[in-house]
Amino acid sequence: MAEVVLNFVNPLIEHAISKAISFAGARISLAWGLKKELKELAERLIFIKGVLQAAEERQESNQAVRIWLQQLNDVAYEAVDALDEYAYEVLKHKVQSQGRRREQVCTLFSLFNRTVFCLNMADKIRKINQSLVKIKENEVFVLLIGLGDQSRSTTSARQLFRTDSILDCSKFVGRHADVLNIVNMLDNMRSQHLLSGISVVGLGGIGKTT
């Protein structure tokens, strides 16, 4: 069931992000006073989407993650519904603008309706943004953020310590010159029939023995 929820959440959020970004950049959103709300909606959705991979990996074994995903799914539905409603209103406005000039009373009536719509839509998007803030403040989200960072760190570590059958020795810095110096010193002592030793001092684990 959790996998089904996540399969729905991903496309919903991607759809909402695409529409919110598109509308936030449109001039009509600025004219209607909705640019700020739409931009905040897109930013919050993008931020939350970044932890869905970590949620997918933990959903089967963690009930709290499944509940969190269901809550996110509900808010994502609300966001998509609101953005679809907004898209319809924008389309209707364009059609009306391209049509014939109507009577003044009709124009005033349309303006009043649009003002009411914009106020209601702004309130609706603000409530959705508030719901997304609560989802981000949930301890599950904080956990997923940490897991996401850990996953990226693990990936970076794997790349850093990746082994290869072919090595470019010119890229490595070692103790080759120091080893040659010590060998030469020992050879000189042996040729002079001296019984002596050379102390190699350093921190543990840096390869003194080898």
For residue 53, what are its two tokens?
């991979």
pLDDT digits (tens, 9 = 90+) for 104-120: 445 655 677 888 889 99
21 pLDDT above the threshold of 80: yes
User: In terms of pLDDT, which residue wins out, 184 or 92?
Assistant: 92
Q: Which domain holds residue 150?
A: 2-159
Handedness of CA 64, 65, 70, 74 (dihedral sign): positive
What is the average pLDDT score of the chain? Answer: 74
Residue 195's SS3 state is coil
Q: What is the pLDDT of residue 59?
A: 76
Closest CA to 32 of 44, 23, 42, 22: 23
Using CA atoms of 125, 127, 129, 135 in order, give the dihedral in degrees to the nearest 10: -150
For residue 131, what are its two tokens?
């719901």
The answer to whether residue 176 is domain-embedded is no
Cα separation, 204 vs 85, in Å, equals: 67
The answer to whether residue 135 is domain-embedded is yes
Q: What is the pLDDT of residue 151?
A: 44
The total of structural domains in the chain comes to: 1
pLDDT digits (tens, 9 = 90+) for 40-94: 999 999 999 888 888 877 877 888 888 888 899 999 999 999 999 999 988 888 7
The answer to whether residue 188 is domain-embedded is no
Confidence of residue 150 (pLDDT cuts 50, 70, 90): very low
The answer to whether residue 33 is domain-embedded is yes
Give the mean pLDDT of 115-137: 93
The answer to whether 9 touches 73, Cβ cutoff 8 Å, is yes
The answer to whether residue 74 is domain-embedded is yes
| H-helix segments, the chain | 2-24, 27-31, 35-49, 52-58, 63-98, 104-137, 139-160, 176-191
The answer to whether residue 61 is domain-embedded is yes
148 pLDDT above the threshold of 60: no
The answer to whether residue 196 is domain-embedded is no
The answer to whether residue 164 is domain-embedded is no
Confidence of residue 135 (pLDDT cuts 50, 70, 90): very high
The answer to whether 87 touches 108, Cβ cutoff 8 Å, is no
Q: What is the pLDDT of residue 161?
A: 32
Cα separation, 45 vs 129, in Å, equals: 9
- CB pairs under 8 A, 24+ apart, for 114-117? 114/32, 114/89, 117/89
